[in-house]
Structure 1
Amino acid sequence: MPAFAEIYERIKMATNCRTQMELATVLDIRQSSISDAKRRDTVPGDWYMKLFERQGLNPDWLKQGIGPMYLRTDKGYVPSETPGLAENPAYYGDPQSRSIICPVYGMACTYSDGRPRPELEARGRLAVPGSLHREDLQVFCMQGDNMAPQLRDGAHFGVATGDVNVVSGRVYALFAPHEGVIVRRVFLDGDQESYVLRSDADHYPETRLTPSQLGKRLLGRVIWTMQEL
């Protein structure tokens, strides 16, 4: 039987997890459970079942590196040796068809320019397509309709926290005193001495920030949204 390390590396590669914490989220287990499995040098059987049920991963491939990485299609489980298979399970290794479980944060928090940034509270989880995931991603649930129709109340949106070089007209997430996390379209003012924050809904007033204020409050750029039309 292969050692834990060998199987663990295949699991990390297949799930696009880089840390034990990320993998624990995917498996819905405590991070300490992964450390315990590593110490025992064995992979618990329920990990294989969860990875098959949630991502269609082939248990034989995880254990031995044998066969296709993915077995499940949108019609359910289909053995790779079945004659006349209409869909190639290998396609399910495509980033667009794989998902990564991410925490979803609420926008409410207590922020002040003179204090460290507040800890954000996770309110749930969301399966994000692999093609939309990145290392610096934080996912939020929108509160309010100031950015409708691009971002409606209740929509999920992803923020690239490493993307803090402001380009006028793009949408960014920021911290705001008395509000928490907000979403605004940011423009460099004509005099180039301040930034203008605007909502897409016309009836919301615009605000202005100095470059120093913006640097303190900027969380990152909004790079995608998920919502019903």
Structure 2
Amino acid sequence: MPKKKRRCDEAQLKWFEEALERIKKATGARTQVQLAEVLDVRQSSISDAKRRCSIPADWFLKLYRSHGLDPDWLSEGVEPVYINADKAKVPADTLLRETPAPYGRMNSRGRLVPVSTMAGADKDAAQWEPKSIEELSVPESFCRPKLLVVKVDSASMDPVITRGAFVGIDRDQSEHPDGDLCAVHFPHQGLTIRRVFHQGDTFLLKADNDQYSDLTIPAEEMNDRTVGRVIWVLQNLAPM
């Protein structure tokens, strides 16, 4: 007769889930596919680890080499987070100061993320880079490996996106499906968020607010100037 597969007990399962969650938070991996890419393993290896409630020792070694993470923190939550902080992808204080999110599912966990101005670090630079001005707690489900959060300083997309709203932008998404909201860099001005439409040799960037003019960008420049696609918006629907 075939041997029965050993099942994890409650304590083993709790340890595994907490350790795996620390790995995900520190690397920004949100899915099993992303986690497998970070660890350079097959997706089936992730499933095997879950079934056994056991994290292979070489995963800890890989995460130290790639992210500078301390195996003791990954395994047991014992600080410090990093042995080699120069390789840190996420600030240690951000990982350690996570609080319950004010949005999303009841009892869901949140992550503190930096919020940038739309002007960015240098409006005159050829490439847009963020400039952090505050932090915001968002649900885990809202996070992505290359999430950018900006605070909107324009009413061009009102009422869909109001001035002062927090907008989540996925920098991994640079496609331009017609009608989608994209964040696009304009030198000397910073970011603008508009609905994008492809029109032959140009892209039309439409504002939802009729008081703002539409913009155009040559098609050959669009990829370089697109920072990402808008994936969520947090804002007040009524005056405070």
Question: Does the residue aligned with 1:127 lie in a helix, a strand or coil?
Answer: strand
2:216 & 2:97 partners in 1: Cα distance?
A: 50
Across the two proteins, how many residue pairs are aligned to each other?
166
The answer to whether structure 1 residue 228 and structure 2 residue 236 are counterparts is yes
1:206 & 1:145 partners in 2: Cα distance?
A: 13
Q: Which residue is equivalent to 2:78?
A: 43
Work out whether residues 188 and 194 of structure 1, in 8 Å CA contact, stay in contact via their aligned partners in 2: yes
Change (3 A) 1:194 1:44: closer
Q: Which residue is equivalent to 2:116?
A: 105
Question: Does the residue aligned with 2:99 lie in a helix, a strand or coil?
Answer: helix
**How far off is 1:160 after superposition?**
0.8
2:163 to 153, 170, 192: 153
Question: Does the residue aligned with 1:103 lie in a helix, a strand or coil?
Answer: strand
Structure 1: unaligned runs, 5 residues or longer: 1-6, 21-33, 57-73, 75-90
Q: Which residue is equivalent to 1:210?
A: 218
The answer to whether structure 1 residue 198 and structure 2 residue 198 are counterparts is no
**How far off is 1:119 after superposition?**
2.8
Question: Does the residue aligned with 2:195 lie in a helix, a strand or coil?
Answer: strand
**How far off is 1:158 after superposition?**
0.3
Moved over 6 A (4+): 50-53
Question: Does the residue aligned with 2:113 lie in a helix, a strand or coil?
Answer: strand
Q: TM-score if structure 2 supplies the norm length?
A: 0.58
Q: Which residue is equivalent to 2:84?
A: none
**How far off is 1:220 after superposition?**
0.6
Q: TM-score if structure 1 supplies the norm length?
A: 0.61
**How far off is 1:120 after superposition?**
1.5
1:214 & 1:174 partners in 2: Cα distance?
A: 8
Question: Does the residue aligned with 2:118 lie in a helix, a strand or coil?
Answer: coil
